[in-house]
Structure 1
């Protein structure tokens, strides 16, 4: 599929929010503004990222598709599951001895992404509305089973699959309708209302937005299904609102949209180290701005050519320097 600046810009902005969200998470306890900012970001940033991943999965079913995905997703998962285990041990982080199929921190995304593509082999043959209804029903039902959780990234796979499937069925024409002036105006009101509700209503467990825990663990087993359905609706609205405002023109950061996997896999080395040594504190708005600037610098650093050169063997199983020498010899 020909690259479109809109989608690359969206991926850069969303990966920045992933890093920034992880950066501010330790400061949400006891701070209503930080809690509101964190939860507001989490209402849409991963669902939107997953929706875009589904949008670019149009080639599902092509010859060799799954084999290529296994190399692209499972190879780096195995590499970084091992690397992060050693790194967490080195910095003294608790829970470093995670099993091979109990994904460290953000690595769940790779396992779930592979599973979403597998599920797509079936659901791409089902009419869109029927398929979406089934996936939402499954996403709601899995919350009632304590045995479906973080292991193998099973819970998140089922909970977030509706966004991936929705992205698969979306067209550029659909997305263009989200970017009209009336939608943009309405989106400002909706995003403001969501922020206001998060600030003034009683705090809820962030686990509801992470999708990795059962309703029993979240201590609202009876109302769990209704709450998850509400979160689906909220996330859907927020995705439309946010994509409505994504810049369409080519910018200096646009090409970084091709490198977001590197940022996603590597930024944990910074975040976990900062958390382990209590590197920062937040006392005022300028501290938050400083964390945002640092998050953007991390994105730029991990998107740079030197970072790609060093990390490429671990992420793509390629040795770019060696290949270049072979081509010139």
Structure 2
């Protein structure tokens, strides 16, 4: 599929919010951070998952599935081992996590693979029926206490509706969200949501993570209705954010291609900072500082040096290293000819 600036811009913005959200998570006892954190978590993963579904149009062929295994499951196993070793070095007790309980953000790789497999069946079902089944399934699993973090099963089922919706959306439908009338409606939605988050008592972010049963979150009876509300809220805010994603190409647009690298590697920084306890939030300038540091991490992990160095671990190939060597050789030959 030909690259479109809108989607690369969206992916870059979303991966930045992923990093920033993880950066501020330890400071959510502060009201302003709590509101900011919850607002980001309402939409940032649903939006990312929706885009992942949009780009899953080729699912079905065995070669495609093998490529998914190579790109998702193998990196999951590699980084599960790497993060275990890293956590042990920095003194994080979670290094002992078993292989089928994803370290922190690695759940996304397992779930993404499962969403593609589920899509083989669901793309044969009429869109409205399929999405309805996915939503009902996501609601029902919350009542089953045994479905949780292992193999990322809970998140797989809870977030699958967004992946399926993204699959059925066309490029024209998504881009239509950037129309002026929708943009101003989006501003209204965002203001209302932030106002409600600010005015209401503490809202548990566990409802936004998709990895806990209703029993664990203290709503064994009405949890399903609350999850349905979270679905509607997440989809509404996601559309509102997409409405303001620019469609032009900027110098940072190309960095939207590297979001998987940022996603897999930013935990090295975040977990180190958490263990070291270097930061605290006392005023607005601390938040600005964390926002700037998050951007530095994103830019660093989007760099070509990181791309070339970690491609063998993440994609299982060395095409970028070969390209880099070829370009160096070309430059040397040009210098000799001058």
Is the TM-score greater than 0.5?
yes
1:118 aligns with 117
Name the residue aligned to 2:164.
Answer: 165
Matching residue of 1:89: 88
Structure-2 separation of matches of 1:267 and 1:103 = 15
| 2:336 alignment partner in structure 1 | none
Residue in structure 2 matched with residue 306 of structure 1 by the alignment: 305
Aligned-residue offset at 1:313: 1.3
- Residue 62 (structure 1) shift: 3.2
Partners of 2:308 and 2:321 within 8 A in 1 = no
Aligned position for 1:26: 26
Call closer, same or farther: CA 1:63–1:224 in 2, change over 3 Å: same
Q: Which runs of 4+ in 1 moved over 3 A?
A: 319-328
Question: Are residue 208 (structure 1) and residue 195 (structure 2) matched?
Answer: no
What is the CA–CA distance in structure 1 between the aligned matches of 2:62 and 2:182, rounded to whole Å? 39
Residue aligning to 1:269: 268
| TM-superposed deviation, 1:132 | 0.4
2:24 pairs with 1:4: no
- Name 1:190's counterpart in structure 2: 189
- Runs of at least 5 residues in structure 2 that lack an aligned partner in the other structure: 330-338
Distance in 1 (alpha carbons) for counterparts of 2:129 and 2:118: 15
Could you tell me how far 1:71 is from its partner in structure 2? 0.3
Q: Tell me the residue number matched to 1:181.
A: 180
| 1:127-171 deviations in Å (ceiling 9; x for gaps) | 000000000000000000110000000000000000000000001
Choose 1 or 2 for highest CA Rg.
2
**Is 1:49 aligned to residue 48 of structure 2?**
yes
Distance change >3 Å, CA 311–CA 322, structure 1 → 2: closer
Secondary structure of the equivalent of 1:43? helix
Q: CA RMSD in A?
A: 1.5
Counterpart in 1 of 2:139?
140
Cα distance change on mapping 1:326 and 1:288 into 2, 3 Å: closer
Instruction: Give the deviation of 1:315 after TM superposition.
Output: 0.5
SS in 2 for 1:64: helix
SS of alignment partner, residue 274 of structure 1: helix
Q: Deviation per CA, 1:41-85: give whole Å up to 9, x if none.
A: 000000000000000001111351100100010111000000000
Trace 1:285-324 onto structure 2 (pairs within 5 A). Answer: 285-320=284-319, 323=322
Find the aligned partners of 2:251 and 2:284 in 1 and give their Cα distance.
27
Once the two structures are overlaid, the 10-residue window that deviates more, 146-155 or 198-207, is 198-207
Distance 1:248 1:180 in 2: 11
Moved more, 106-115 or 217-226: 217-226
- Please state how far the C-alpha of 1:311 moved relative to its aligned partner: 1.0
- What's the TM-score, normalizing by structure 2? 0.94
Mapped partners of 1:196, 1:273: distance in 2: 33
Residue-pair matches, total: 328
Q: Structure 1 length as normaliser, TM-score?
A: 0.97
- Equivalent in the alignment of 2:153: 154
Residues 43 and 237 in structure 2, CA contact (< 8 A), matched pair in contact too: yes
Question: Structure 1 CA distance, aligned partners of 2:279 and 2:309?
Answer: 28
Give the 3-state SS of the residue equivalent to 2:213 in structure 1: coil
SS in 1 for 2:228: helix
The 5 Å alignment of 1:55-134 reads 55-134=54-133
1:183 deviation in Å?
1.0
